[in-house]
Structure 1
């Protein structure tokens, strides 16, 4: 019985570790360690083997083995070829399914060590099915026929006598190279990530993530850095593009953390990966694509801490609620911030908080989540004077808490105030705000009517603007439900000469104010009804040079 268990466990370990290099020695060591202990039985041994393969996989393969020996038993060629295209944890999920476990049982066995759900298991099984073209029974038969510890000497080369001397020389040289590689430490045959000089960013007046210096107390741990880079390169979903560099390497809450970024070139956005090594698990836990190459805050796992580039100073944060911000200074040491209070992140505000920093003479505002995979958009104001005003804070409140836009996938945001004033029918003071996103490029912006404390007074409306358009010619229109009736509220920047409404409510017009303010158009609508049954109306914005654009309230 023990021999049968040993064979099944060795097969599982070998096919999980195999990268085409015959890992018989490390597979044997892993199985031997898994079979130690008082508790017996195949499930208990397999669980220990899974923990070893995921948390502390044996290294130091015998490099002469593949040169001198070959498997003597049947090799699962189709399945093995398919597994070579998967990272080790996905191979393990597949092999456990073919070992008789159901998808929920596989998740229960693996989720102790790494994040996994049923969809991941189903996706891996489907990928192997597609690559092999075999059904489950044929795959299982091919795997069970494989005996990795049954080997034989490779046959000698068959070459003409005249070429044997030359071949012998080549073989001897290759053998010496293999023997030399055998004495190299296991991690040295993998490319180490780049470490960026601490002063690289000072040579650029506007540094980007390419100049973000490597920081952290574990930068000298070359093996850790190599393991992290190797794990990201093996990531099946989001592998790096181009070279890999270290942003941070240190110990956070008892775990070893390495944060890496890739170098995709000008046509693709930079990605950031976070690699953790904990007592019971190791691996890449999140990959996020940045919306911009400018240095920005990066959430570290679920630790409530952030990586901060050295050119962003005087860091402070606040929850985007209330009429005025309650800023709290955030300490930063060696590029890593102190943790924020976990209860700051509320679903009401999309789990986002507001950071403000200084960079030279500029104030930088950024919205940051507690999810390392979510976007962290910077916020710009079309009128920089709005940055520190109450109306600017109300705009941030509306963006994060009033549903003006979805932040989790947003690029950088540009906010513009088209109009502020009193609403009719006793509606109080309000601001018509435009929100433009940097991605997707050229996407039409959105507008919303907000109160003085950032509460949404309308559904989102349409604009004629995008992230790059000039605020002077921007126009927006929304439907607003006053205490008495529906009203169409439209406003534009000072570069628009007049606004005119056309459609079911007839034609109405308002010209720009002589004081330099843009035009405001308020059109009375129906007294009753819901948003789904509102009249069809369009607003035409006329510029002095004859250009015009059409805005449709949504």
Structure 2
């Protein structure tokens, strides 16, 4: 092999290894991919690199061969900052970053990857920024670490300890095996995936905002290497929901007579992790559920149908309540080594979408103000467990919060099995027209699906739904000042258009078949409220009556305008 080809092979091998590496030393597959890329005879190194990219993105891995592990083992060295940061990215994000550090611009990287996957320069910039943020190194230092990495270093595996006769026999076997293995070391695919990684148990104490990435392994069996390997291999063999990126153990212990391992993957900063639950019982073993988390933040994880939950170590004083009750009756929940005591099974009857409400206290290990965390959790390990934030009224905050939780869980204000984290906001409270009861205009924004509009609904003081879902102009991170909502509400006599907005909206105006109606703030910084009578309730049933076509224009203090259309 010419010297230039050897240099190209070394660069390609390094690139392939860092893309494929999930903490499992994939040297064999990296060698095969790099060797295939160097067979390109025209176009030089750029053509070889393009071929490498195509193989990595389009060709599935072939079967694993472990015979060479009898003889060779990787020359283990602690991963540097860049290599450790890459473990937290998905393979295509690693590839984008490495091509960027290989001398390509972001648009050039996007063009090279875009032949095989949907990607643009912003995706490249995000992957690069993720490594920059995790390492704290400048571009030159990152490139120096990458170029110094030599994945091809291996050493002979030492023979096992034993009597001298056994050592002689083992040495003879190894010598013979060396001749056999040497023929395919450069062509066989990757090594066995190995046992899952574990997070440093001190990592979560170094940040004021710990997430799933800092959740350490807990449980009495977390050091059982064979159990962890069986669990990780079983998940990797799952054809429907295999892991993406590095596999990390969250919990391993005995639960109700079964050995349980909970694992999560590492899809990168743009996606939320998946969690797999592996059980070993007397007559069965295997992965029994794989569910995607609604958020990358540390959250409760339901364990099978055990009525128990995993709790991250930074959440304390756990308590739970059933959202169907008129007021919260908090039950203290004991947590030992990350595992909660079981909740009463009768709580999970077919009501309120089978969700319960948890409240916990977050005390930052790095100092700072503690705060209460609210979360909705199901008895289904595949269902999301959304955290809940509130945009509160100035008075009776706790009463509003419980009513809002009841409306979301029990009154169909949101389908929790499809939502991410929730922001529940208060826009207006008061008496409805035509002798209607007191009501609150509740806005509900979910973090997923991404870009989905928020909804609004009128609820009573105890959380009963007084209207169907409406449509708002809110987004997942809308502030209280720019929020506005409009919906139809039906009294016994007629329909009414109800619109309200936050304090940065100074005026609301209707246009369309209802004519022109306007309402400004009742006081500086107050909440504009516009209620316009509509058609009389009719139709069979009355809900099918035709409603006028109308839009509401919200005029903000800075001159911007937002147009809302009720359904």
State the TM bucket, normalised to the shorter chain.
0.5 to 0.7
The answer as to 2:245 corresponding to 1:270 is: no
Partner of 2:178: 173
| Corresponding residue for residue 524 of structure 1 | 533
Task: Name structure 1 gaps, 5 residues minimum.
Answer: 1-60, 65-168, 179-187
Match of 1:477 among 457, 466, 486: 486
Deviation at 1:176, TM superposition (A): 7.9
Q: Say which of 285, 291, 295 aligns to 2:294.
A: 291
Q: State the 1:518 CA deviation.
A: 1.4
**Counterpart residue number, 2:201:** 198
Q: What SS does the corresponding residue of 1:224 show, helix, strand or coil?
A: helix
Over 3 Å counting, the alpha-carbon distance change for 1:236 and 1:453 in structure 2 is: same
Per-residue Cα deviation, 1:261-282 (whole angstroms, up to 9, x for no partner): 1122212221111001112211
Q: Does the 8 A contact of 1:367 with 1:376 survive in 2?
A: yes
Are the counterparts in 2 of residues 261 and 273 from structure 1 also a CA contact under 8 Å?
A: yes
Task: Give 3-state SS (helix, strand or coil) of 1:292's partner.
Answer: coil
Of 432, 452, 456, the match for 2:461: 452
Distance apart, 1:463 and its partner CA: 0.6
Verify the 8 A CA contact 1:488 1:523 in the aligned structure 2: yes
Deviation at 1:222, TM superposition (A): 1.3
Q: Deviations over 1:22-57 (max 9, x none)?
A: xxxxxxxxxxxxxxxxxxxxxxxxxxxxxxxxxxxx
2:333 matches 1:330:
yes
Which one of 417, 428, 448 corresponds to residue 408 of structure 1?
417
Task: Provide the rounded CA distance (Å) in 2 between the counterparts of 1:386 and 1:461.
Answer: 25
SS at match of 1:479: strand
Task: After TM superposition, give the deviation of residue 323 of structure 1 in Å.
Answer: 3.0
1:233 matched residue in structure 2: 236
* Shift, 1:553, TM fit: 1.5
2:393/2:426 contact within 8 Å kept: no
Q: Which has the higher contact order (CA 8 A, sep 6+)?
A: 2
Tell me, in whole angstroms, the C-alpha distance in 2 between the residues paired with 1:396 and 1:62.
53
Q: Is the 8 A contact 2:504 2:525 kept in 1?
A: no
Structure possessing the higher radius of gyration over alpha carbons: 1
Q: Can you give the 5+ residue segments of structure 2 that lack an aligned partner in the other structure?
A: 1-64, 69-173, 184-190, 364-369
Residues 178-213 of structure 1: CA distance to partner in whole angstroms, max 9, x if unpaired?
9xxxxxxxxx95511112232221111111111111
Is 1:534 matched up with 2:547? yes
Superposed CA offset, 1:284-324 (max 9, x none): 11111112211000000011110000000110111112332
Give the secondary structure class of the aligned counterpart of 1:217. Answer: coil
Contact 2:323 2:357 in 1 (8 A): yes
CA distance in 2, matches of 1:551, 1:299: 39
Partners of 1:381 and 1:387 within 8 A in 2: no
TM-score scaled by structure 2? Answer: 0.64
Question: Shift of the alpha carbon at 1:455?
Answer: 0.3
Would the alpha carbon gap of residues 264 and 387 (structure 1) be closer, same or farther in structure 2, given more than 3 Å must change? farther
User: How far off is 1:226 after superposition?
Assistant: 0.4
The TM-score normalised by the length of structure 1 is 0.66
Q: 2:474 matched to which residue of 1?
A: 465
* RMSD (Å) for aligned C-alpha atoms: 2.3
299-308 or 218-227: which moved more?
218-227
In the other structure, the counterpart of 1:316 is 319
1:197-252 CA deviation, whole Å, 9 max, x = no partner?
Answer: 32221111111111111010111221111000000011111111111111000111
- Structure 2 distance, partners of 1:384, 1:252, is 43
Equivalenced residue count is 381
1:395 aligns with 2:395: no
> What pairs with 1:342-491 in structure 2 (closer than 5 Å)?
342-360=345-363, 361-383=370-392, 389-491=398-500
Q: Residues 467-515 of structure 1, C-alpha deviation per residue, up to 9 Å, x if partnerless?
A: 1122211111111111221111111111101111122211111111115
Distance 1:192 1:424 in 2: 65
* Inter-partner Cα distance in structure 2 for 1:448 and 1:62: 59
Measured in 1, the distance between the counterparts of 2:501 and 2:259 equals 53
Larger deviation: 338-347 or 294-303?
A: 338-347
Deviation at 1:527, TM superposition (A): 1.5
1:62-91 Cα shifts (integer Å, max 9, x gaps):
979xxxxxxxxxxxxxxxxxxxxxxxxxxx
- What's the secondary structure of 2:505's corresponding residue? coil
Asked if the contact 1:323/1:452 (under 8 Å) is kept, the reply is no
Q: Label 1:261 to 1:332 Cα distance change in 2 as closer, same or farther (>3 A).
A: same
The aligned counterpart of 2:562 is 549
Residue in structure 1 matched with residue 49 of structure 2 by the alignment: none
How far apart in 2 are the matches of 1:224 and 1:174?
33
1:4-23, CA deviations, whole angstroms, 9 ceiling, x for partnerless residues?
xxxxxxxxxxxxxxxxxxxx
